[in-house]
């Protein structure tokens, strides 16, 4: 089945560092990918929709200059947390949907997530 | 506004028994899809089952079935014959647009614990 690969799975770094997270669709093309943030025992909150070849669409309250998204190809989207601080520590998950087929029927496939810890 | 609500923060079930996880939704859009995902402690999101707003029959996938009551706007997940490996967070989600950019909105989640 469709697989989404997310890397790295865990990052621990110092405050002020920028961190890049990659999300790849391995066996399908994804013109649209989604980035979520999740706190422990909480729901997934959509941060932004990543569009191949164009600017990402950010949800209300998400700082686009803080969370840079690039979707340079049909199989790769990246999220860069710039100048990360301890409050950015969280679980970040990407998701993509196989574009081959009708809209709502296709389930979204998720990466395994990245646990980001800023010291 | 579109909204998904899961009112059970935590649930306990005895192994081999059935359990129902509640989910209600709110939308004025006639076209939508409802999904259930399982998230073990390791973090990955596992797709379980899907129900389309125009589907006449309730969806079933192995031990999972979706009790879809459109008039009540509810889409409860029923897990039959619970297993210890079913212990996890469960999320109900809705996608509105039939278009390719439709966003998936999640409920608050229910933590299921299966007792031996």
Residue of B59, B100, B105 to mutate when probing chain A, most A C-beta within 10 A: B100
> Cβ A112–B98 below 8 Å, yes or no?
no
Residue A16: C-alpha distances to residues A22, A61, A87, A90, B107 (Å): 20, 21, 12, 16, 33
> Other CB atoms closer than 10 Å to residue A58's CB: what's the count?
17
Check: CB of residue B50 under 8 Å from CB of residue B34.
yes
pLDDT tens-digit series, residues B11-55: 999 999 999 999 999 998 888 999 999 999 999 999 999 999 999
pLDDT in tens, A40-69: 889 999 999 988 888 899 999 999 999 999
Record: contact A112-B43, CB cut-off 8 A: yes
Rounded to the nearest angstrom, the minimum Cα separation between A29 and chain B is 12
Cβ–Cβ of A108/B91 closer than 8 Å? no
Q: What is the mean pLDDT of chain A?
A: 90
Residue B98 pLDDT: 56
Size of chain B, expressed as the number of residues it contains:
116
Query: Which of B 14-33 lie inside 8 A of A, CB atoms?
Result: 31-33
pLDDT of residue A27: 86
Whether residues B97 and A102 touch (CB distance < 8 A) is answered with no
Select the residue of B32, B50, B100 nearest A32 (Cβ to Cβ): B100
CB within 8 Å: B103 and A34: yes
Instruction: Name every chain A residue with its beta carbon within 8 A of the beta carbon of B106.
Output: 43-45
Phi–psi pair at A3, nearest 5 degrees: -130, 140
C-beta of residue B5 within 8 angstroms of C-beta of residue B108: yes
Half-sphere exposure of B25 (CA within 13 A, CB side): 31
pLDDT digits (tens, 9 = 90+) for B60-104: 999 999 999 999 999 999 999 999 999 999 999 998 765 556 788
**Rounded CA gap, B49 and B57, in Å?**
13
Nearest CA in chain B to A50: B101
Nearest chain B Cα distance for residue A111, angstroms: 7
Residue of B nearest to A45 (CA): B106
Query: pLDDT, tens digit, for every residue of A12-42?
Result: 999 999 999 999 999 888 888 999 999 988 9
Report CB contact under 8 Å: B101, A32. yes
The Cα B42–Cα A9 span in angstroms is: 11
Give Rg (Cα) of chain A. 14
Q: How many angstroms separate the CA atoms of A57 and A79, rounded?
A: 13
pLDDT of residue A97: 80
């Amino acid at each position: 089945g469709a697989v989404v690969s997310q890397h790295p799975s865990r990052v621990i770094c110092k405050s002020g560092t920028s961190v890049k997270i990659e999300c790849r669709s391995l066996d399908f093309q994804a013109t649209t990918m989604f980035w979520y943030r999740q706190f422990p025992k909480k729901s997934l909150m959509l941060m932004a929709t990543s569009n191949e070849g164009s600017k990402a669409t950010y949800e209300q309250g998400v700082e686009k200059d803080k969370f840079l998204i690039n979707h340079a190809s049909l199989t790769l989207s990246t999220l860069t947390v710039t100048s990360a601080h301890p409050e950015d520590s969280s679980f970040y998950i990407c998701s993509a949907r196989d574009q081959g087929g009708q809209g709502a029927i296709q389930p979204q496939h998720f990466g395994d997530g990245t646990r980001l810890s800023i010291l | 506004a579109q909204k998904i609500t899961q009112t059970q923060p935590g649930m306990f079930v005895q192994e081999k028994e059935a359990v129902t996880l509640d989910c209600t939704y709110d939308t004025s859009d006639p076209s939508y899809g409802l999904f259930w995902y399982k998230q073990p402690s390791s973090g990955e999101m596992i797709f379980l089952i899907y129900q389309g707003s125009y589907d006449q029959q309730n969806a079933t996938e192995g031990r999972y079935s979706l009790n879809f009551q459109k008039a009540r706007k509810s889409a409860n997940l029923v897990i039959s014959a619970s297993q210890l490996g079913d212990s996890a967070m469960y999320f109900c989600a809705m996608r509105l647009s039939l278009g390719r950019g439709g966003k998936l909105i999640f409920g608050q989640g229910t933590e299921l614990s299966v007792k031996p």
